[in-house]
Amino acid sequence: MVTSVQTEDEVPAPGIWSAVIDRSDPLPLWAQVHADLRRRLNEGQFTSDFPGEMALVEAYDVSRHTVREALRRLRDEGVVIAGRGRRPRIATGTRRITQPLGALYSLFASVESEGLEQRSVVRAIDIRTDPEAAAKLSLDPATELFYLERVRLADNEPLAFDRVWLPATLAAPLLEVDFTHTAVYRELERRCGVRLGGGEEIIHAVLPTVEERELLGISTEVPGFAIERRAQGPAGPAEYRRTLVRADRFAVAVQFSTGGGYKLSLSGV
């Protein structure tokens, strides 16, 4: 059981209190911290800000590991958003982005259709050779490709790690684009006169690497959707894309009928 005492002199930071953990209680320490935080959240505390890890360590006089376990439980309940290197905050209506299955969609458009702000952090944009990506586009291994690498954000929260390759002969003008707030398909049509058509896409569940987890701000318990896409242009394959999306913020939707049904292509089974 947690006993809390709060005075003006004892508050170590705004919204933080002094609390005593009952170490004779058989309930684990993290569970006591979790229960007390859950109670305070239910009572409407932390309306302006949620305390950081070290402030909670000081308030409850427990280890950082204990605090992280309590925060992990709150995050899994959808109550708090917490990631490595980021201050925890209350989840205020975080929404899951839903994409249609079997459509050449734009993640940019889908995020904004949900009423969320879309933004990207561009990590790389250049012309390079990539034999593997060229093979996916049915091109010679030495073919120059336009390459764009971004972390996609929805309402300033990481949503996806996105990499795209296009033939440089089609997409070289995109080097001049600021991709922090626009879509590849939009700029490809506007600047290059190229509109992509259908294609193929493979989606499977993965456990993100350490680097990918840090980029997306997720813990080891959150899986991802790995999406591999090859889209067609006017004269053949024109886009190869790999996207890693947080599974806790992304869903795939499909429409079906009793007559036509729908097809699923199972790969690697």
Q: Is the pLDDT of residue 25 over 90?
A: no
Residues whose CB falls within 8 Å of the CB of residue 226, separated by 6 or more in sequence, listed in order: 203, 204, 205, 206, 242, 243, 244
CATH of residue 17: 1.10.10.10
Residues whose CB falls within 8 Å of the CB of residue 47, separated by 6 or more in sequence, listed in order: none
Residue after which a domain boundary falls, among 90, 113, 139: 90
Mean pLDDT value across residues 35-59: 81
Residues 126 and 46 placed together within one structural domain of the fold:
no
Residues 111 and 212 placed together within one structural domain of the fold:
yes
User: What does the block give as tokens for 143?
Assistant: 């073919």
In a domain, 261, yes or no: no
What is residue 92's predicted lDDT score, i.e. its pLDDT?
57
Number of domains in the chain: 2
The domain of 161 spans 97-253
In a domain, 263, yes or no: no
The answer to whether 172 and 188 are in contact (CB under 8 A) is no
What is residue 162's predicted lDDT score, i.e. its pLDDT?
95
In a domain, 216, yes or no: yes
In a domain, 104, yes or no: yes
The b/e string for 109-130 (b: 16+ C-beta within 10 A; e otherwise) is ebbeeeebebbbeeeebeeeeb
Task: Report the half-sphere exposure of 231 (CA within 13 A, side-chain side).
Answer: 22
Residues 118 and 79 placed together within one structural domain of the fold:
no
Q: Is the pLDDT of residue 183 over 50?
A: yes
Residues 42 and 26 placed together within one structural domain of the fold:
yes
Residue 101 confidence class, pLDDT cut points 50, 70, 90: low
Residues 77 and 107 placed together within one structural domain of the fold:
no
In a domain, 262, yes or no: no
Q: Is the pLDDT of residue 32 over 80?
A: yes
In a domain, 208, yes or no: yes
In angstroms, how far is the first alpha carbon of the chain from the final one?
Answer: 49
Residues 148 and 83 placed together within one structural domain of the fold:
no
Residues 156 and 134 placed together within one structural domain of the fold:
yes
Residues 140 and 226 placed together within one structural domain of the fold:
yes
Mean pLDDT value across residues 27-34: 86
